[in-house]
Chain A
């Protein structure tokens, strides 16, 4: 088994989701080449080289790769794929955008959102928003997978450094062009990979109250802040904070749901959390069915007390 893994990073840092994908790759085989596609990415390549389990780092450094456009990235991955049994990316918006395009270029079907690896060709993935788990087997010669970061721990750094090799660019296909981005820069941990998450629902009442009650608690716990779809739609929190089937799927060690009713599409995005703690005014809220610990209380009364008491 030889595995090609597509790295994802921001300006300075390899994403934790890629480290999780490396852990999944280690379960599939021992030869793991990580492909870094970008522009001026020497520092990222060096970070990748130091991650445990990485055999070799391939770097495609070109201005055409300055932004992750699937139209430009996919032909490069396609060209390299024939040398590998598996091509993997994390099931993030980046990996989910890219890998199906590569699959069609290779004329193969693929498996998305793998949560568990059983053997080299057999995996578990969720269906129906996590209401069911399917065990699937793929018989393509080149197996393309996206893996859910929440299903695999992040690979750590090692003492050794893997060799780094440059590979040629496949250039700009000029089909699409990056215009702008609006990325929230936050001091807090990233939602998808945070070990503690505090999530607020619509019963927080307003954007101001959401901020005033959630921020101190998140700071105390060094937690990421999440929000329900209802809270996002009401304008209390930005889109990228949404936890659920259509937002980010999370599985932190501790998930604290505050004023969250427990709609099915929300549960689908957080039920794999190791410990779930819920606070809600409504004793009949669905969220309590999914919680390890529950407290029925007035949010506005108890949240400041919790923040102060920790």
Chain B
């Protein structure tokens, strides 16, 4: 069984992102970039499926500029077999990204497609579900466990108020929650090996897709800061504050 994993290059989760002075977007200048954390969970899960003898090949794919190769190398170092970069300098919407992944899916014919439940830059959580619709296949979002049994995927999802388990026909699209696994620490020999693994570049233009999006960002700003709070001296003051607040809240 072949597994395709979608990954995205995003600002590292430790970076505190600020708005550009003109409000045109996030200020990304010199910010440290990393693989989207949820996508790293997806790669880890695919590699574990291969180690368990369930998956035969793990292919990672991303779309972006040439520098997005670094997150593909990271995925290869985690244990993916080969990588595909669909290269474009344009920003792609969720739907356009899903269409890129549809084209790669047609070419690679994987039985399982994994990716993070959302990217930590735009926090949209849309691409996986869109891809499943475009392929007319099953989906399981926010996955915390994935098992392949008798040609089906048994997936437990994190939902509001608890968990739910679904059985999916394959092929299927599954989006990873952080609880799916703990991605392994990459050792130096794996990094060296990753440099030798195949990384193919496909020009976005060759896929005959449009980059035009009907969602435009017109302004980006930091939310207003909260006013400075008051430190209380003892527990009785806190009880008094709470009593007043609870009363006015009724």
Contacts and interface: CB of A to CB of B under 8 A. Distances in A.
Contacts, number: 252
Q: What are the 9 closest A-B residue pairs judged by CB atoms, nearest first?
A: A104-B133, A100-B129, A104-B130, A100-B126, A183-B162, A175-B138, A309-B239, A176-B138, A135-B219
B223 A103 contact: no
A130 interface: yes
B132 to A, nearest CB: 6
A196 B249 contact: yes
Given A100-B130, A104-B133, A70 B139 contact: yes
A135 B161 contact: no
B130 A306 contact: no
B215 A137 contact: yes
Contacts of A120: none
Given A126-B123, A310-B242, A108 B214 contact: yes
Interface string B210-250: 00011111111111001101111011111101110110010
B98 to A, nearest CB: 6
Interface residues of A, number: 86
A74 B178 CA distance: 26
A127 B227 CA distance: 22
B67 interface: no
Interface stretch (A34-42, A204-212, A271-279): A271-279
Contacts of B138: 71, 175-176
Contacts of B16: 131, 264
8 contacts: A92-B160, A101-B130, A127-B220, A128-B26, A132-B220, A134-B217, A240-B158, A294-B229
Contact of B133 (A105, A135, A183): A105
A107 to B, nearest CB: 7
Interface string B14-45: 00111100000010000000000000000000
B120 interface: yes
Contacts of A113: 123-124
Contacts of B87: none
Contacts of A196: 246, 249
B160 A94 contact: yes
A111 B144 CA distance: 25
B137 A175 contact: yes
A93 B158 contact: yes
B218 A96 contact: no
B169 A176 contact: yes
A199 to B, nearest CB: 15
Given A137-B216, A246-B177, 16 more contacts: A97-B129, A103-B95, A104-B98, A109-B95, A109-B214, A122-B218, A134-B219, A175-B136, A177-B166, A182-B164, A221-B242, A277-B242, A291-B229, A292-B226, A295-B238, A306-B242
